[in-house]
Each structure stands twice: as C-alpha cells, then as structure tokens.
Structure 1
Amino acid sequence: MNQADFYEYLLSTPAKERAELLVVRDDKSAERAEAVARYRAVRPFVLPQLRLSPGEDLRSYGPEIRELLAELAAYHRYEGEKLLIAPLHTLSLPLPRPETFGTLRLEFGETLDLEALKDRLYRWGYHFVDLVSEAGEVSVRGDIIDIFSPGAEHPWRISLFDEEIESIHPFDPDTQKRRGDEELEAVTLHPAFLALESEEFEALKERVEQSPYESFVKDIDSLGLWHLEELGMDYLQEFRAIAGEDLGEELEELYSLTTPLIPRSSYPTSRLPAAKMWRELEVADVNKLIEAHPDKKVTIVARSESLVRGSQLVQMERLNYVYQEGILNLMGPDELILSLNKPVKRKRVKRPSLVLDEMRPGEYVVHETHGVGIFKGIEKREVLGATREFVVVQYQGEDTLLVPVENLEVIDRYIADSGTLPALDRLGKASFKRLKGKVREKLFAIASQIINISAQRLLQRGIPLKVDPAEHALFLSQAGFEHTEDQMEAIRQIMEELSGGGMMDRLLSADVGFGKTEVAMNAIFAAVRNGYQAMMVVPTTLLSAQHYRSLKERFAPWEIEVAQLDRYTPAKQKREILRRLEEGELKVVVGTHALLGAKFKNLALVVVDEEHKFGVKQKEALKEMALNVHLLSMSATPIPRSLNMALSKIKSFSEILTPPTERVGVRTFVKSFDPKIVKEAILRERRRGGQTFYVYNSIAGIEEKAKQLRELIPDLRMTVLHSKVTAAQTEKEMMKFEAGEYDLLLSTTIVESGIHLPNANTMIVDGAENFGIADLHQLRGRVGRGGKEGYCYLLVEDKERLPENARRRLLALESHSELGSGAVLAFHDLEIRGGGNLIGEAQSGHIKQIGYSLYLRMLEDAIKELSGRKEESEKGVDLNLQIDAYLSDELISEARLRLELYRRLAQAESVAEVYEIEEEIVDRFGKPDEVTRQFIETMAIKVLAKERGISKVSSYEDRVFFEFHDGRDRVILKAPSKDDDDILATAMGYLKGTRNEE
C-alpha cells in the first residue's frame, strides 16, 4: 500500500467524511497503513490476516482468532477518532456484532458469586485448566482464581476471603509466581470468544454440533465463527469502507472458492486517490536527505528517545521528534517525515522454565535401584500411626513398591526411542543392579574418551583468528536479512573464542531453518581472512549440495572460492580439489565423509553438521582431523539440560531459539482419513507451486498407498522412499525432489531431518495416532521453511475409537501451531532424544533397558568423576518421622501438580530452595494447612541432614534418632512430647545446632 496516498487522504479529508474501514491486501499493507494513521493521531485497530476456506477448522488459528476478537472489541469500545484496518480475506469471514463484546470488571473488596463467575467464563469461551499459561485460560483452586484475559499482558491471580476479593496480583505464566509485590485495585475481563448469554450460547453450541463442516472435535473453538447467524454482521456493508490499494487479485481468489464468502455488492467501490503533493522515499542516508532539503521542516519518527540518541543524526536541534512504532518515510511540499525504526524482530521462543512432570498413571518409570516399573499413582497410607503419601510403582508379577514422596528423586520417567516398550523388572532381584554396573562401565569408556580429547585440546595453543571489526560488519550486512538476537549472540561468542588464543570446541544448537549455517559462515570468514583453510563436513550429499550453494553465494562478493567434494564429484575433479587443498590454494571446502582423508596445508577450522548421523569410523576420522584446529559442531536437536551440565566444562554451547523474521508457523489440522481431504491438500499445495510430503509409516503397505494416490490424482508426479531403498537411490530421488521434479514425496518417517526444502510446504501424516508427540512435532517442522505458510494434516483412522491420550496429544498439536511451540509441547521428549545423539555411538541397547533419564544422569556422574569434579558420591537420607506430612489434596487437588511439586522438593539442594517452593505454594494455592506445612519442614530437615552426613532421621513416640553414614554412634533426642510439632522442632533444632544431644 502506498503510504503517500493514505497520508494525503487523511490530510485532505475532513474527519466526518473519512472512511471507518480501510481494506488492504495483507499484513504488510496493514502495517504500513497503521504507521500513517498513528502519525496523524487517528487510533488504528488492525485485524490480522486470515486466509480461510469456508468451514475450515479454526482451532489451528487460535492465536489469530483471539487477536482478531480482542482488536474488534477494543475498536468498538474506543470513543475517539479511530480507523479499522483489515485485510480483505479477514473481512470475508463472519465477524461478530459490537454487542457480543462485553466486559466484566472485578474490584478489590467486591463480593463474588464463584459459581456464577465460572458459568459466565465457560459461556465466554474460557478453557478450565490446571495451570494457566496462555490467553483464554482459567484455573479455579479453592479460593484462588488464576485467569488470563485475552489482550492482557499477564495473567492475574485473584485471592478470595470467603466470597470477597482479598487481592489481585499479576503473575508470570512461566514460573507461576507473582510478579513482585505489584497489587491491582481492579481488572477488566474480556471474553475468550464472545460475551454470550445462556440462550445465545446454547443456540450456537447446537448449531456447531449439527454443523455440516468436518473437524476433529465439533466445538466452538473449531467451528464457532462459521455459525454466528444473528450474532454476526457483514462489516464491509455496515461500515463506510475504502480500499487502500487494488484488490482485484484478492477478490478473484475469494470468488474462486466453492462457496464465495463475500457478495460482490459488499466490495468497497471507492479507492484511495493517488497522492499529488506527497511521495514515498527510499532512505539510504538520513543525514544526506536532511542536508539536501535545508528549507523543509523535518520530523523524525522513532520508537524511543534512546534510538534517537544512539543514531548518527546531525543538525539535531532543527528536527522535530515523534515517538511511535512503525516505518514512515515521506516527502511533501514543505516537510520531510523520516523514520529511524527498523522492522520489528521476532520474539525469542520461550522455553518453559517449569517443565511439568508428565508422569501419568499407567506410564513406565525407572527406579534407580529397582529398575523399570509402571507408575500407578499417588496413595495415602498410614504407617505406625502417621499418614504419608507414597508413589506406587508396579513391577513384574504384580509386585508393588511404595516410594515415599520425599524420595521422589530416585524415580524418572522411562523414555527411549519412540515406540520402544521396556520389559518390567522383578522387584528384589539383583539383575537391574548388574545391568547398571555394565552400563556404568560403558559410560566410563565414553566419558573418558570425551575428557581425553578435551584435555588434549586444552593443552594446545589455539590458532588466533582476529577479524577487522569494520570488515566483519560489512560481511554481516551482506547476509540479505536482519540477524536475530540469538544469531548475533552466537556469532559474538564464536568470534571471541576464535580470537582468544584457546582452541574452540563449541556446539551450536538450533531448530532447522533458524540460521545455524549463517553463524558458521562467520567463523569460516574469520579463518579465511587470517589466511587459513576451513572445511565443513555433512552426513549426506543433499545437505552438502545445499551448504555448497549457500557458501558459494555468500562468499562470492569476497572472491573466496568454495569447492564441493562428495560421491558425485568426478574423479578428475576430486583429485584436483585434494591437490589444491594440500597445497593451500583452496581455502574453503564443503563435503561428505569423502573429505575425511583430505590433507590440508593450514587448516584452522572444522565445521561439522549433524555429527550424530555419521558412522563410528567416520567419527573417529573426524576426531583426528579436528584435534589441533577449532571445532564447531552444529545440531538441530535441543540439548538436554543434564548433558549440558555434564559437558559444560568440556564444550561451550550456543543456542538459537529465535525463528527468522520471514519464517511462519505451520497450520496443523487433525482429520479423520478422507480421500477428499488428501486430494484437496495436495492440489492446494500444487496450485501455489509447492510440493507435499506424505508420511505413511509402513513399508509393507506403502506401494498400495502409492497406487491409491495415483488413482486419486492421475497426473501426480511422485516418488516413494523407505529404508529398503538404497542410500544412493534415496539421495538421487531427494535431489530430484529438491529440484522440483516431483509434486509429492511418499515415505516412511525417514524424511531427512537436516535438509532444508523451502518449496515443500504441506505435510500429510497418515495414521497420526500411532506417532509420539515429539515425532509429530518434528515431522511438521519439515514444512513452512520458506516465507510460505506450511500446512500439516494429521490423519487418523477412526477418531471415535481413539484412546484418550492420543486424542489429547493430537488436540495439543492442533492448538499449538505457532513457531517454537515445540518448547511447550515436546521439549522433554525432544531434549532427551537429542541426548542420545550427542553422546556418540547410539547406545540404544542400554538406553532401552534403563531409559534416557537415568542414562544421562549416570553419564553426568561419570564425566564429573573422571574430571575430578565429583563430590563425595551423593548419599541419600532415609526419613522416617512418625508425623502426618504430605501435600494436602484439599490445598492442591490436582495429583499432577502435587507430583510436580513433590519432585521439585525432593530435588531441592538447599533449605532456601525448599522455602522458596513453599512461598510459591502459598502464592499459587493459598495458605498451607498443617500437613502441608509439616511436609515442607521434613524436606528442609532432609536437606540439612544430607549436609551433615546423616543417613537416617526417624522417630518413635517422643524420641528422635539420627544415624550417620560414617558409622558414628547414633544420636537420640527426647522431644517435649510426641506431638508432630515437637518432633519436627527437636529434629530441626539439632540439625541447626541449637539443640544438643541428650
């Protein structure tokens, strides 16, 4: 959209005659119009772009639908001069009438009818959950209400005293803790969908349940907007509308739908007139422009004063300043408007700091002494007159183990490669102990190898690689895009380490397409500018071809030659490349393991991509080559926290969690299998010039599936790949697919995880109910790589017969289509899978037997021990106090949340940490009752006892006993009485040194 046309229109048209609605092509046009309106003091309300076919499942568009409704509600409430700006496609949807946007104000001291409030929130589209983490969610726990109102910056925690609102605090959804001491007098709640009365809600619900449209779950989230009837209106007809640009193409696209969403009569007939006095500017140098127009008034638009102070502006005193968002560069007869703002960068993907424990009844767990069992839940038991809670684990032969919740750290979820089911261990047998001993030996071998290589590297002097800052800034600016903050931070860390005189050994982790290669190219640039050679090694020829193209293009302006070496390189050319590398003529080479025998004249840097995909021999050769040079390893799998801790003294880490600006999310739809859906998805992708992945995870049935697809679309260009196709053939076919020779790739889950195919933007997963959440999230990450929106269809055989957990998993994926949602969804699974990749050889046999979590914990211990950092091996404390102590289910009713708090308390390493968790419990659930408070005291006792080398703390009647690891005589204390309070005070007094033994 032309900003000059719109600016002149606002200048020359009286406010009363102006349009109320500006119709534009897309988000970018809307953004440009918003900057102009804001500058002219007209309050803009911008609707997000939504391109939907009639009846499409809306669950996948949850965040945009919430944003759309919040913006419409704000528009209808605003009394001043305002303008609604909307893409045409969005206006073609049924949109709600102004009266459906109600609000509810809650004030400190107000009396609240909790049941009526819950009923209203349900009608307003809120989701009732255990833990509030995103807009439109509410959690009611006794007299505490957590609620995240759409449009609010933070969720709020409302505490009641009986029926009166006692306090309102904002809280952080990541930590679930209050934000400082900030207290609010009142808050205004907005609907999560629409503010519906009972009759309206029931009528809409009925229409949705009888809807002819197909969706995984027929509910208001999925289909509500399509059935508004009397609740909706046609904004194009009801408002004075004007088109901001030519929308012919968009209109034709809308009319081509089987059911046009928009009557031709609604289209705005008037369009912004072309500007006569004003024009848009391309600004390369602000100062030169200002100097070239000494007689004009100059207004600078900037986001903040600090942006102005940090700029290189001259003649600052003659300039006027307007502080606002948006980019606006215009020239009029007597004024210049110039913007210092840059496009807004993408937000960093937040990793949840609170990883919820996903131990659910029926799942496999590993006890560090007794091995693999099935978690049956939490139970209260009375032992010697005292009530405590235990985790119940079932072993072979229905044997049951009761684990006190205070010792929960001895249990981990059992996770191995997806689909692997473990054999249950037999309780009391020594077989698991022997197995752990074997694994420990193997781990010591791996750990000592890691440490030896690290020690050799540390003893060597590094090759200092320093780059002129101005030259490096120029190289960065030629990337052709704005680097994300994470990329810049990773580049800074790498350049610092390369120039520091040590030998770099860094691991760079980032999702595919988040820009690892760009970061690596800065390191290669540093090596070459210092007169050295650099090589990049990758596991497949397809990946090698992709990296070769990227490097060649990026280094061309610097006349740095890049060569490629893999199995497709002709023999004569290969000999020539190897000769030039040995003589030092060639500075940069990219290739597969074909490079591993090469000799270099002065190699300074080895970059390894997806190292875990190389074979054992190739890894050995890589280690040899990288021994006395800088090493940068890249991985697309997240780094497990425990492995990160274990390796942090040996390797340095960089992580990129921010998606590139042009990257868009992947719309995810869960559907029952239907050939019509498959056909429409493939043809929709083909119409926009793209390609499709079709995942069918059965080699036996894949040819039959190929036949069905050919019958469905006779002219479909398709290739079929699975693990029985040779590696050479697979690579050939993948390269043809990349070159656009096929419309569809039908394969098992071997869809290569490292490759970047920006033209393939639709993924169909057949039999999605048979996949784990992490696999599905990784599969859909294959699409939406370029600037185009990706579509992922998860097809299930029979949605009515799906098990509850499969249904829940698929709904979670459909609801979290936004980028980086892997962090929310599958981080635990993904990070653990990544652990296996980084350790070296796939220890799948051992991992299968003991699970990843315990495996990583043992690896961490082995590395610590071998590197001399192993503290005295941690010895547990057996707590056996005869007092009622557990987290009360009246206070924390949800077993899953109690379990997560038990786990965190059991793993607490200091008394301060125990009491911090207590504060959090008070904040989230209210004042602890007696049994909860006593449990927290016992956890503080456990921490103090561990610090003092005590092996057991127990009590009987009014006596408290302490036993020691080193065999000292046990200590016996007499409490004033056998009351719980006195027993706890006596134990605590002794541990804190304020009570001596009798």
Structure 2
Amino acid sequence: MKNIFDFFSKKNDCQLLVVNDDKQAQIASDIVSYFGYEPFVLADFRANFKDDLLSFSDELQDITKALNGFYNYKKQNKVLISPIRTISFPMPKDKCFDNFTISFADTLNLEEFKSKLYNWGYYFVDIVTSQSEVSIRGDIVDICPLGSEVGYRISLFDDEIESIRKFDIEDQKSFKEEIESFSISPAFLALDEQTFEELNDEVQKVESDAFIKDIHSLGFWYLNDLGEYLPLSMNTYITYEALDELEEVYVFEEKRVAKEKFLQTPQIPQSKTCKEIDVANIKEFIGFHEGKKVNIISSSEAKIKSFDLDLSDSSINYIIKPYIINVVNDEQIVISLNKEIKKRRKKRVRLVLDELQEGDFVVHEKHGIGKYQGIEPVTVMGAKRDFVIVMYAGDDKLLLPVENLDLIDRYVANGNSYAVVDKLGRGSFAKLKQKVKDKLFAIANDIIKVAASRELINGIKIDTNKQILQEFQQSAGFDYTKDQKRSIKEIFEDLSSGKVMDRLLSGDVGFGKTEVAMNAILATVLDGYQAIFVCPTTLLATQHYHSISKRFESFGITMAKLDGKSTTKEKNHIKKGLVSGEIDFVIGTHSLLSVQTKDLALVVIDEEHKFGVKQKEKLKALRQDVHIFSMSATPIPRTLNLALSKLKGMSSLLTPPNERLGVRTYVKEYSHKLIKEIILREKRRGGQLFYVHNNIASIEAKKADIQEIVPNIKVEIIHSKIKPAEAEKIIDAFENKEFDVLLATSIVESGLHLPNANSIIIDGADRFGIADLHQLRGRVGRSDKEGFCYYVVEDKKQITSDAIKRLVALESNSYLGSGTALAHQDLEIRGGGNIIGEAQSGHIKQIGYGLYLKMLEEALATLSGEVKEENKTVDIKLAISAFISNDYISEDRVRLELYRRLSKATSKEEVYSIEEEMEDRFGRPDTVTKQFLELILIKIYALSKGIKQISSYEMNITFVKNDDTKQSIKSSSKDDDDIIAATLQYLRK
C-alpha cells in the first residue's frame, strides 16, 4: 500500500498498474481514487490457456465491463489496474468496445437489434434473470445490460418505443416510473456480423474438450487482430509484489506475455517516507503527529460520530468515501474508519420456473404416481381448453384441466428410489393414502406430545449476557453472517427464558452451524453447567472435537471426546469426570446417549435424522429436563417450518460465510487424457479428489481404470455395502492424506467435511438429478481453496438436449436462475423428510415427499387445533375457450409456471396481482388468456361458496353444491363472454 500511495501522491503518469492479485487491486483502486484518478479494475483471471471459459463467465464479464469503461472514459486521469495473471493474456483492443443508447420514441428495427445483440455476445432467453441476457416477446423486449443491477423493459407500438421501465430481475416486476433512455454495452465484444462470424468459425475449428464450442466458451483465446498485450502499448508500472508472483504465475504457455517483458516494465519504487499504520486510538495518534495534515475517511457521517470525532473540527479533513487507506508520511496522515466489504453474492432468483419435463414422474392427490406428458389443447363441446396429460399403468391417460394443476406435484423420493406408476381408477391409491395418513397422525401426535410435556417443565435458566461471550464471537477470526447472528440471538433467548429449549437449526454444510452451537455450549458451561455434543459418526465427532478445542482453548473449559475409538481406560475416566463435574463438555457418538452427568443443561445433536429409533428413545429420556439443540444440513420447507415452529424453535442459515469461494464447474466428455489431467492438476496443488461412480457392480473395474490412467496414485473405494466401521477407517485414512482419490457412489453426497479434497469428478453426470449434482458439487471448495467440479458424460451425442442444457446451466452457474433454485426446492422437500426420520422412507417412496409433507402439515395443524380442511376441487365444464395462448406466451415452460401459480391462487387479489404481472411482462392478454384468468376467479368463488361442479349447455348454466343441490341460470347468449359474465354475477351474489 505505502509504495502505491507514495507513487500516486507524486502525480506520476501511469495508465496501467500491474498488481499481484485482486486484493492488491482493490487497495490500489482506493488509493488511485483518493488522488483524483478514475480507476478501472480488471478481475483476477486465473484460467489456463484453452480452458472452457463458461465457468469463468463472471470474471470475463468483469473484464469486459472494466475495459469498456476504460476505453469509453474520455478524460485523461484514468488508470487501468490489473492482477498480473489477467494481464499476461492478450486483452481486447479499444475498437472492440462501444455503447448505444435506447431512447423513448425511437424507432427500433427488431431484426437489426437482435442481430447486433447476438454479435455483441448477449444470451437470448425465456426470462431475463442476470446480466447479458435478453428476451424478446412480441412487442415487449427485456434486457439486462452488462454491469446493470436491474433489467430494462421496452414496450413497442409497431416499431416505435412506447415506454421504457426498469424491472427487478429477481421477481420480474417493473417499476412504475417510465425512463427516457438507457445505454447498452457489449456483453462480450462489440463485433460486427462479419467479425463475429470469422471469430466463431475459428473457434469451431479448434481442438478443445469444451462441451459446447462457441465464442462464450473459447472466443477470448482466439482474439488475434482484435487483441493486444497491454503492457506493450500503455504507460505501465508494476508493483514488486506482482514481480514476486511472476515465478509462480509463469508457466511458459502460448498466448501469454513472455516473462521478460514484465521484468522490463518500470517498477513502482519502494517508499522511504511512507508507512502503513493500524490505529487503535485515533485521537491519541493524531496528538503524536502534530503539524501534519490529518485526513479521515469514512463511508458516512454517522460512522465518524460513532468514533467520538467532531465533524466541525477544522483541523481534520473529513472525506466521505468508501476507501480503506491507512498510511502516514512526512506531510500527512490518512486514517480510514471503513472495514473491508466482502464481495456481493448473487441473489437467488425468487421466480422458480417449473422444470417439469415430459416423462417426469408426478403425484396426483387422488390417482397417485403417473408420468407427465406435457400440456395439450383439447376441444370439448366446441370450446378449446388446455389439459395436462398424465399417463398411468396400462397406457391409461388422465386429462387434468390446467386450472387444477395444483392437484399434481413433482415426484421426489430418496435419491435411489424409482417410481412405480399406479393404476388409474383402482381406488388402491386412496387406501394407501389412508394408511399413510394414520401413520402420520401417530407421528404428529408424538411430536405434539413431546412438545407439550416439555412445555410444562421449568427449564434451566442460563445467563447469556456475559461480556466473555462477546469476546468469543470477536475471536472467531471472521465476521458472522446475518443469519448466524440471528440464530445465536434466538438460542440465547431460549436458554435464558426459563423454559426448556427444543430448537432445530438447518443450514447447508459449511454455513457455520457449529459456530452457532459453540456459542450455546460456551454460555452453558460458563454458567456452571455441563453440555454434551452427539454426532452420528466417529469421523464427525473427531472433526468437531478438533475444531471446537481450538476455539475453546483460551476459555478454561475441560473437554473430552468419547467414541468407538476411545480405550476402556479413557471411557471410564471420561464417565467419572462427567459424574464428578470435572469435565464440562464432551463430544462423542452413540456412547453418549446413556451417560450419567452431574449437572447437564444442554444436549447438541448433529444430523439428528441419522440416529435410529432406539437411540432416539434414549434421547427422549434426556429430553425431559435439558435444553435440546439439533442441527441439520438440509433446508426445511417453508410450510413445514411454519407447521413445526409452533411446537419447536426453528432457525436457519441461508447465507454462506464470506470466505467461501465458489466452485469452478466444468462439463466434459469422458476421455483418459481428461481424467489424468484433472487428477494430476489437483495433486500438483497438494490436494485430493472425490471420484463419484454411481454403480457398485462396476466400481472395482473403474478403480482399475483410474489406476491404469494414472499409475502412481492410490485409490480407495467406499459405498453403501461396505461395513460402517470399515468405511470410517477409509474416510479417516483419506482425511489423513494416506491416499489420493476416494472412489465412491453418491453416498458422499452429505455429511463429510474434508477440506483437503477440492476436486470432484462426477461420472455419468447426465444420469443424476439437478439437486444431486448441486449437492455433490458442495463436497468441494469448503476451505479457502478454490474447488473444482467436473460433470463428465460418456458421449455427448447420446444425451438429450435438456440434459445438456441442465449441465451447461450448472457450469455457468445460472440457467435462467432456475437451476440452483430448483435444486434448493428438491433439497427442501428432502429436508422435510429428514425431520420425520429414515423409518418413514417406505411411505415416502409410495406417495412422494411432496404429498407426504402436505399430509404431515395437515395432521400437525389438525392436532394443534387448527382445522385444516382437505382440499376441495371444482369441476368446471363451461363451454368457453379459456387458456394461456401460444401467441401471447410462446414458451411452454413459462406458460406452465403461470398455470401452476394461478391454479394455486386462493384469493381474487392473487389472481389480479398475477394478471398485472403478466400484462407488465408480456403485454395485454388476448381474449382467451383473459377468459382463463376469469375461469380461475370462477374456481375461487365456487370453492368459497361450497360448489363442486359448474357446467353449461347452450345458454343454461348449472351449479351443483357439495350437498348435491342444483341451481340453474340463463346467460343472455351462448357467447363466451356472456357465459362468463353470468357465472361470475351469480357467484358474486
């Protein structure tokens, strides 16, 4: 920092500053801004030449954005700042960058507009959910230009721009105010048609293992005349830290600047007068440096006041900026009150597209498991309607009106379950449902009984206001996430309430659940009580013991570990220590379930669902008078969360810690060369690998293959048929780095925390569901090391275009925002299953998780005294044409999503809100779409009036109530609009 500060304080002319990494780039950016220059920062681009760049799309977008800003900034006081790895590749020249403006009342030639955006690297999609995407739907154009946090919605009248409004890319709703204009910059490069075609042709000829060859995945490597080595054409300086990095960075590859060129670049001189400072007491420090100019930087005036500084003090120059600079030299002091801001994470898109694919299994509430075959228009009594087609055993076909789409759900069971299609109209599914319902009432009853009995007991009051607990949180070495802070607050409130705590914390692996638990344990032990921490496996117990011991080191806590590996002598010593009170806290496995203690106040259970029935009974015995805190790595569905939260405390961690890096994801076609390269690359950086091969029968052959491809590496196998004790030994050996590759089935999907294994190969990735792929990817990248995930397919010509879409989606990490959102949905459903326990998996398999959880929620609500009526349906047989037309919305996925949301609507306000959104996104609905929205209103009114059937013939409309009474009315004509108007008028009465 001090060298860069000194250099720019002397107003040196520098157009390009080369630094060692993105951290130093941020420091340089702050200093450059402080001295009145305009900084443009390139991302730290750590790809290898010819890599498939889809998984580097974020960095490439940032580079494009920065270069575009730099070249289009017309003043002279600009500086381009680049990490050395980035600038060692040729960068696009200034002629590759341009912008154009879209203004109200302009004429827009759609064909030319499409062509330009295509050549500029924009993706054409159904729904715009991130930067560089565009969607054109008739006279509505949505676009999110590179660098923009919001989308822009253009409404056309013929070819004239009638209105421009911003919209939220999370929920697709546009803002009310119209704007005059906005600017569009290239998403890749501003290429004309001919240049684009030439570049594309070159990319197609390249030999590469990229899954899809296009300019997005490979174009950057083949810029030729469009690119140049920037250090050769600009007034460039380099920091000595970047020169140090040269040794490591420079593997001599083609298309990189030769190392000598950087060695000849002028270096920023070492500063003799400037020092970096870390100020504890600001006022005292200023007192030591009388006579120097004092500059204090803060992001807000409020922050200045919080440091007890006087804003009216004229001897201090206050600068309201976000910079972080702390230096002193002969003339001045610069002190920043700001803390480092972590990178903003991508928000999860709130709109989940229904990813029902033809051939997927679905569960109908009445008829059971069938196969979804798409949506088809069917003409009944001269009127056209859309129906969902579901196939059952014996090729029986169920036609489900789209307004009743809420009666079916995607079939999700355990990862290895395969659905068995039911027979239509047999009544056997109803019997099965009743059997499951009875079982669920018993489960719900148990849950409520335990909750009620614990409610009557006085809990141990723990003092959670001690200053030492604050110190513990500050000693973590990282900032807690918002969710962690909230969860700790909720637990502390429980512990100090005088009631018995029963709280479940759910959060993905690595999201900091153990840190939250440590706060509860520390509060309990410091208050003179004991705590125990129960884990399902020895491995997990050992992992927790190591990490918690480190954190508790300076707090004077006596802790021990009790598991299958403990000797008899150790076990006896620990058991005695617990009874006498000498041991405050113990971590262990099942052997802890029946220990005697002196003053136990807290039991922490990790992955509670992994404990068997008998063990759970023992836990229930502990539950009478101690605080219970359970943790689970699967998210809990929102609705079940609500149902259970009346009986149990629920907390969740939804945001990852700031230190977690993303996982680089690649989709590749299988080859020996590829497998060898992946394994050796990970070995070179001292890491280990997971290799997922989901077939026990051929796993030994796969081991032989791997050892033939890379002869000098050690491979061990793990799968569900290996005895638990043996499996534990293998995992232990893997953690101790005794072998390189853990070859496993998808058994490794959850629970393991092995920070040294940072590459995963998933063989036959096209045969996994999106949630499984997402979970498996979560096995790596769990320390501060970057993780690599390779989805490998046998032959890309043999897999469906949908599977390709899904895999490429996961590779570039955004498939219209719905890939990960859908994975979360699946995981949430499984998380709900976990609460109930493994014993129920048979029932879940028969009716699917979705319906199972729905029924559990109903059982809990009924037993809690909230009477939840079973879903009633209305059979609507009106001779009207009502459907979301293809002309209005052409994408089937989007239509299906709207059908799903409308079918689940329970109030007219919900329908009007969706209608408003449709008008905003797609323009004014046409007649048949408008009539479908009115049909949904008819359904909602009929349900509230206890009507089960509505039908029409000619001008007669008949209503049948639940008690089978009938009433008929006449409409003024047979026209659709008159039949709808008469029906609504009757129902609104």
With the length of structure 1 as denominator, give the TM-score of the two structures.
0.96
Return the letter of the residue paired with 2:61.
R
Partner of 1:52: 47
| 1:741, distance to aligned residue in structure 2 (A) | 2.3
Tell me how far 1:821 sits from its aligned partner: 9.2
Q: Secondary structure at the match of 2:949?
A: strand
User: Aligned ranges for residues 491-890 of structure 1 at < 5 Å?
Assistant: 491-751=488-748, 753-816=750-813, 823-824=820-821, 826-890=823-887
Task: Identify the match of residue 4 of structure 1 among 2, 5, 13.
Answer: 2
Q: Distance in 1 between matches of 2:702 and 2:970?
A: 76
CA distance in 1, matches of 2:710, 2:403: 60
Structure 1 distance, partners of 2:140, 2:621, is: 61
How far apart, CA to CA, are the structure 2 residues paired with 1:698 and 1:259?
41
2:363: which partner in 1?
A: 366
The residue that corresponds to 1:955 in the other structure is: 952
What is the match of residue 93 of structure 2? 97
- Deviation per CA, 1:53-87, whole angstroms, max 9, x where unpaired? 11011011111111111111011111221111101
C-alpha separation in 2, matches of 1:173 and 1:459: 49
Q: Which residue of 1 aligns with 2:299?
A: 303
Q: Helix, strand or coil: the match of 2:807?
A: helix
Shift of 1:173: 1.6
2:219 pairs, out of 221, 224, 229, with 224
Q: Partner letter of residue 773 of structure 1? A: I
2:103 equivalent in structure 1 = 107
What corresponds to 2:15 in structure 1?
A: 20
Aligned with 1:182: secondary structure? strand
SS in 1 for 2:747: coil
In the alignment, the residues of structure 1 paired with residue 961 and residue 128 of structure 2 have an alpha-carbon distance, to the nearest angstrom, of 44
Q: Is the 8 A contact 1:396 1:427 kept in 2?
A: yes
Judged with a 3 Å threshold, the aligned counterparts in structure 2 of structure 1 residues 320 and 310 are, in CA distance, closer, same or farther, namely same
In structure 2, the CA distance between the partners of 1:975 and 1:698, relative to structure 1 (3 Å rule), is closer
CA distance in 1 between partners of 2:961 and 2:802 (Å): 46
Q: Which residue of 2 aligns with 1:237?
A: 232
SS at match of 2:177: coil
Give the equivalent residue in structure 2 for 1:353.
350
CA contact (8 A) 1:836 1:842 kept: no
Structure-2 residue corresponding to 1:122: 118
- Say whether 1:152 aligns with 2:130: no
Q: Cα 1:316–1:715, aligned 2, differ >3 Å: closer, same or farther?
A: farther
Q: Does 1:71 align with 2:32?
A: no
Is the 8 Å Cα contact of residues 89 and 255 (structure 2) preserved in structure 1? no
How far has the Cα of 1:493 moved from its partner?
A: 1.8
**Partner of 1:996 in structure 2?**
none
Secondary structure of the structure 2 residue equivalent to 1:247: helix
Give the stretch that moved more between structures: 202-211 or 289-298: 289-298
Q: SS of 1:791's equivalent?
A: strand
The letter for the 2-side match of 1:505 is D
Matched, 1:289 2:285: yes
Report the Cα distance in structure 2 between the residues aligned to 1:773 and 1:718, rounded to whole angstroms. 27
Alpha-carbon spacing, 1:741–1:508, altered in 2? closer, same or farther (3 Å): same
User: Would you say 1:262 and 2:250 are equivalent positions?
Assistant: no
In the alignment, which residue of structure 2 is the partner of 1:274? 270
Deviations 1:201-254 (A, max 9, x none): 110110000012221111111111011111111112111111122334432334
Q: Deviations over 1:173-211 (max 9, x none)?
A: 2211113x1321111111111111111011011000001
**Contact 2:352–2:818 (Cα < 8 Å) also in 1:** no
Residue type of the alignment partner of 2:4: F
Larger displacement relative to structure 2 (98-107 or 260-269): 260-269
Q: Which moved more, 1:533-542 or 1:241-250?
A: 241-250
- Structure 2 match to 1:88: 84
Shift in Å at residue 331 of structure 1?
0.8
Offset, 1:260: 6.3
Name the residue aligned to 2:486. Answer: 489
How large is the Cα RMSD of the aligned pairs? Answer: 2.0
1:281 aligned partner, one-letter code: I
Change over 3 Å in CA distance of 1:352–1:616 after alignment to 2: farther
* Stretches (4+) displaced over 6 A: none
Indicate the SS of the match to 2:164: strand
Conserved in 1, the CA contact under 8 Å of 2:464 and 2:495? no
Change (3 A) 1:272 1:817: farther
CA distance 1:371–1:161, change in 2 (3 Å): same
1:342 is aligned to 339
| Kept after mapping to 2: 8 A contact 1:350/1:823 | no
Alignment: residue pair count: 985
Q: Is the CA contact (8 Å cut-off) linking 1:349 and 1:657 kept in structure 2?
A: no
- Does residue 381 in structure 1 map to residue 378 in structure 2? yes
- CA deviations over 1:344-386 (Å, ceiling 9, x no partner): 1354664432221111222111111111111111122222232
AA of the residue aligned to 2:531:
A
Aligned to 1:177: 173
CA distance in 1, matches of 2:101, 2:508: 42
C-alpha distance in 2 between matches for 1:346 and 1:593: 41
Deviation at 1:822, TM superposition (A): 7.1
Mapped contact 2:749–2:772 kept (Cα < 8 A) = no
Which segment drifts farther, 877-886 or 213-222? 877-886
Cα offset, 1:921, TM superposition: 0.6
Residues 554-563 or 874-883, more deviating? 874-883
Is contact 1:55-1:214 (8 Å) kept? no
Q: Distance in 2 between matches of 1:312 and 1:729?
A: 61
In the TM superposition, what is the alpha-carbon distance from 1:842 to its structure 2 partner?
4.0
Q: CA deviation at 1:419?
A: 4.8
The residue aligned with 2:398 is 401
Number of the residue aligned with 1:214: 209
* Structure 1 equivalent of residue 319 of structure 2: 322
Moved more, 719-728 or 628-637: 719-728
Partner SS, residue 754 of structure 1: coil
* Higher mean C-alpha deviation, range 732-741 or range 166-175: 732-741
Gaps of 5+ in 2: none
| Inter-partner Cα distance in structure 1 for 2:819 and 2:356 | 19
SS at match of 1:873: coil
CA apart distance, 1:418? 2.9
Q: What percentage of aligned pairs have identical amino acids? A: 50
Asked if structure 2 preserves the Cα contact closer than 8 Å seen for 1:467 and 1:529, the reply is no
2:918 equivalent among 909, 918, 921: 921
Q: Is residue 349–residue 659 contact of structure 1 (8 Å, CA) maintained in 2?
A: no
Q: Where does the alignment leave 5 or more consecutive residues of structure 1 unmatched?
A: 994-998
For normalisation by structure 2, the TM-score amounts to 0.96
User: Deviation string for 1:599-642 (max 9, x for gaps)?
Assistant: 22222211111112222222222222133222221111121233
Closer/same/farther in 2, CA of residues 885 and 339 from structure 1, 3 Å limit = same
Q: Which amino acid aligns with 1:7?
A: F
Q: CA separation of 1:821/1:270 partners in 2, compared to 1, >3 Å: closer, same or farther?
A: farther
1:287 and 1:656, CA in 2 relative to 1: closer, same or farther beyond 3 A? farther
Over 3 Å counting, the alpha-carbon distance change for 1:377 and 1:713 in structure 2 is: closer
2:663–2:780 CA contact under 8 A, matched in 1: yes
2:56 is the alignment partner of 1:39: no
Out of 228-237 and 842-851, give the one that drifted further. Answer: 842-851
What is the CA deviation profile of residues 562-597 of structure 1, one whole-angstrom value per residue up to 9, with x for unaligned ones? 211101111111112112212322221111111001
Tell me the distance in 2 between the aligned counterparts of 1:247 and 1:990: 78
Bigger mean CA offset, 792-801 vs 901-910: 792-801
Distance 2:779 2:818 in 1: 14
The alpha-carbon distance between structure 1 residues 992 and 23, as it changes in their structure 2 partners (threshold 3 A), is same
